Chain A
Amino acid sequence: MAQPRADAPSKIILEGADLSRVVDRIAHQILEKTSGATGTALLGIPTRGVPLAHRLAARIQAFEGVEVPVGSLDITLYRDDLRLQATRALGRTELPPGGIDGLRVILVDDVLFSGRSVRAALDALKDLGRPSSVQLAVLVDRGHRQLPIRADYVGKNIPTALSESVRVAVTEVDGADEVRLIGGLQ
């Protein structure tokens, strides 16, 4: 997909406390839709899905005192474009200590776009165990799906043009919380 130039104009969509409120809302929605997050595990997709999964677990713990197991799921080796690009370094896959068999697994990612990452995540998941069900939580849904995939929990829907790109920054990785829309006509 074409990337906007580095000096393209950009616009901040969410930052700081706004982003925290969005995470809080997703945490509440998870609690509501899963009757109190019992039998549930959160798996973040590296890089930025992992800190988001940890934040969701911390908020769920703060709201209802439920401890939700958290892990990470690297999808690099399952990507359908592995061969079209230079070799990528691997991220970390770390399952919660009890595994994921029989649990409701909620995949957590920063941006939902073509849906290909989620497909790769579903493929990776089937090699790791058999969850009772799989759901998807994303901070941003920017549209333009190429596969029949949808999110169960969406922080913010951002209508975009294909020429634009959405960049999510989180404090744990980038030093600040921010969602930025880059490129396009302004």
Chain B
Amino acid sequence: MIKHLRSAADLDAATATLILDTAAEMAALAGREVKKLPALRGRTVVNLFYEDSTRTRISFEAAAKRLSADVINFSAKGSSVSKGESLKDTALTLQAMGADAVVIRHSASGAPHRLAEWVDGSVVNAGDGTHEHPTQALLDAYTMRSRLGRLEGLRVAIVGDVLHSRVARSNVLLLSTLGAQVTLVGPPTLIPVDLPEKLQVSYDLDSVLPDSDVVMMLRVQTERMQDSYFPSAREYSRRYGLDVPRLTKLPEHAIVMHPGPMNRGMEIAPEVADSPRSTIVEQVANGVSVRMAVLYLLLGGK
């Protein structure tokens, strides 16, 4: 087993499948009265969050607690970071406290890679800048597999602000490893240049929808945009928003995903977000199972 989960590229097909299978067993726990397993008793997991987050932090916290680990939550606000402490000094503090795993979210791409050089424990990337968010990709793959029964050969459209999306990057890496066919859709200004050849790109959402098993809508990350990438929110929504008429163009079995938080009315219409084909709430529940699987596989053994 690998030691760190810094990138979806750390996972080969066998390891990724092991994580998804383990998550499926962990998911059974949610239906039980005692939602607790003793696997990580006495281990310490630090949630090191330099960026705001609700679902990811809570999800990691729930996952670690259900495995009986001790959880220390660290958020940059209200810590010595606001006094100017560097990432390295914070890392050495965590090291001295004996953290067995550090779950890190940071606005700087690559922060988890640097952190892994400074601490002895495992490092789990919970989102670094516009780089990667591997556990989100794992929970998305898990959701697709449990809804549609397979990943091999699945046609997945990732739509919207691909340029700023760590979710998209991790999904492209993981889904390619697991044999799905990914198409990136968005305005040309929000699609990265210099993409690998096997990736398909389209600037026209309507033409992609009829041939998709999964549509993954991405949040438009205005907080990361220093330039204007499209004329207006209204125009973006007209061309790349998933509304009810567009939903009907999808094949009968297709599902709609969104990593959250959503801009309702912008990239996704409220009726679509709340429709039975949307897996948005399911994704959150699956997130806990997948993160339990990751923590167990990283920390459970020797």
Contacts and interface: CB of A to CB of B under 8 A. Distances in A.
A85 interface: yes
Nearest to A87: B301
A102 to B, nearest CB: 14
A161 interface: no
A90 B29 CA distance: 13
A123 B114 CA distance: 40
Q: Give the most central of A78, A87, A127, A129: most B CB within 10 Å.
A: A87
B18 A128 contact: no
Nearest to B21: A89
A89 B18 contact: yes
Contact of B32 (A74, A84, A90, A127): A127
Interface in B268-302: 296-297, 300-302
B195 interface: no
B146 to A, nearest CB: 15
Interface string B13-45: 000001001100110100011101111000000
Interface string A120-131: 000100011100
A91 B36 CA distance: 17
Nearest to B23: A90
A123 B38 contact: yes
B39 A77 contact: yes
A71 to B, nearest CB: 12
- Please classify how large the interface on chain B is, using the bins under 10, 10 to 19, 20 to 34, 35 or more: 20 to 34
Contact of B37 (A77, A88, A129): A77
A128 B1 CA distance: 29
Contacts of B300: 77, 82-83, 87-88
A87 B296 contact: yes
Contact of B1 (A77, A82, A87): A87
A129 B21 CA distance: 25
B22 A86 contact: no
A25 to B, nearest CB: 34
B25 A93 contact: yes
Contacts of B18: 89
Interface string A47-81: 00000000000000000000000000010011000
Contact of A77 (B32, B38, B302): B38
Contacts of A89: 18, 21-22
A82 B34 CA distance: 21
Contacts of A94: 28
B218 to A, nearest CB: 32
B302 A83 contact: yes
B292 to A, nearest CB: 10
Contact of A74 (B1, B25, B297, B302): B25
Interface string A93-136: 11000000000000000000000000000010001110000000
Nearest to B293: A90
A92 interface: yes
Given A77-B296, A127-B36, A92 B25 contact: yes
A129 B33 CA distance: 8
Contacts of A88: 300-301
Contact of A90 (B25, B36, B67, B302): B25
Interface in B169-193: none
B65 to A, nearest CB: 14
B169 to A, nearest CB: 27
A144 B140 CA distance: 47
Interface of B: 1, 18, 21-22, 25-26, 28, 32-34, 36-39, 67, 296-297, 300-302
25 contacts: A77-B37, A77-B67, A78-B37, A78-B38, A82-B39, A82-B300, A82-B301, A86-B1, A86-B301, A86-B302, A87-B1, A87-B296, A87-B300, A87-B301, A88-B301, A89-B21, A90-B21, A90-B22, A90-B25, A92-B25, A93-B25, A93-B28, A127-B34, A127-B37, A128-B34
Interface of A: 74, 77-78, 82-94, 123, 127-129
Closest 6 CB pairs of A and B: A87-B301, A77-B39, A90-B25, A127-B34, A77-B37, A86-B301
Given A77-B38, A85-B302, A127-B32, 10 more contacts: A78-B37, A85-B301, A86-B302, A88-B301, A90-B25, A91-B25, A94-B28, A127-B36, A127-B37, A128-B34
